[in-house]
Structure 1
């Protein structure tokens, strides 16, 4: 007789697991914080995968007129988003924008993909470092935007970041398909 009371899922063990394309498998059960962080890491890795193997000219290819959206612009924008939600909102630091325009979408002829990805990774690492010891119920405050002073929990920030990456990864998927026909994931 087979015991079906426990189903093993490799994404739920402490050992890291990866999909064939190298992205981490997000946790499907277990601790809430670990699940949220693993899903955010999955979406971050998806963005990086969408940029893999492309040169600087390709990542500057715009989606479709009239939009000027590019993969390079998305990477830069998400560096700004990382800084804003983790450093400014969750922890309350008064830090300047990563890029002059404050959105990251504006392309600088001198900034290539490797530099933009390095900046993006640095912002991710800094946010992780600052938020590592904070509980999910930790409350931060939005300083600017449609509702200045609005309080949000770290849990809300993590959920919002998963949504932000998921939405932009849809854009990245369409951009990559336009550039070289690669689709999926």
Structure 2
């Protein structure tokens, strides 16, 4: 069931709602695709519908499990290095598997974020001092951008030009 858009209320509620809607929008760009179409390379980069979801799951782990919960890469529940490997999908992973992985990572991110206030900060090497507010905004931006990428890929898959 899609998350209902909230347009008024507490700042945290608005941020979390917008992030959840962008998570869902990204999933919807790939839902219903065949396994072959989910992996189709339509651009020069590693960007495919399934790899966008794989990357988003890794982004959840990097920002929430590693940075906010303070876990090492080995302690995270999946790939969490900050490199192109975030887009790597194994041959035996189905689209349903990767969607479920992203949904699990998102649930865990919500649980971790709930332990902090918006103004709480962390010092992150290479990033500086970040607040939870900034992290939520960065994730909203990240997933909105990738949902847009997914929309374009889906349009190319569903209505190819000749």
- Name the residue aligned to 1:166: 144
SS at match of 1:107: coil
Aligned to 2:110: 128
Q: C-alpha deviations, 1:28-54, integer Å up to 9, x for none?
A: 111000000000011011011111211
Q: Does 1:118 align with 2:96?
A: no
Decide whether aligned partners of structure 1 residues 57 and 127 sit closer, same or farther in structure 2, where only a CA change above 3 A counts.
same
Rounded to whole Å, the distance in 1 between the matches of 2:51 and 2:57 is 10
* Equivalent in 109, 112, 121 of residue 139 of structure 1: 121
Q: Is the 2:3–2:21 Cα contact (8 Å) retained in structure 1?
A: yes
Which structure has the bigger radius of gyration? 1
Question: Map of 1:92-111 to 2, 5 A cutoff?
Answer: 92-96=70-74, 98-99=78-79, 103-111=85-93
Pairing partner for 2:11 from 32, 36, 55: 32
What secondary structure does 2:86 align onto?
coil
Q: CA deviation at 1:100?
A: 8.3
Conserved in 2, the CA contact under 8 Å of 1:88 and 1:95? Answer: yes
Structure with the higher helix share, 1 or 2: 2
Structure 1 counterpart SS, 2:29: helix
Contact 2:41 2:48 (8 Å CA) reproduced? yes
Say which SS state the counterpart of residue 151 (structure 1) adopts. strand
Residue 176 of structure 1: SS of its match in structure 2?
helix
Q: Given that residues 82 and 127 in structure 1 are in contact (C-alpha distance below 8 angstroms), is that contact kept between their aligned partners in structure 2?
A: yes
Work out the CA distance in 2 between the residues paired with 1:89 and 1:163. 18
Instruction: Tell me, yes or no, if the aligned pair for 1:89 and 1:140 is still in contact at 8 Å.
Output: yes
Residues 90 and 157, structure 1, Cα contact 8 Å, conserved in 2:
no
Higher relative contact order (CA 8 A, sep 6+): 2
SS of aligned partner of 2:130: strand
Q: Which runs of 5+ in 1 are unaligned?
A: 1-21
Which consecutive residues of structure 2, in runs of 5 or more, have no partner in the other structure?
none
- 8 A Cα contact 1:139 1:154, kept in partner: yes
TM-score, normalised via structure 2 length: 0.87
Q: Distance in 1 between matches of 2:46 and 2:116?
A: 38
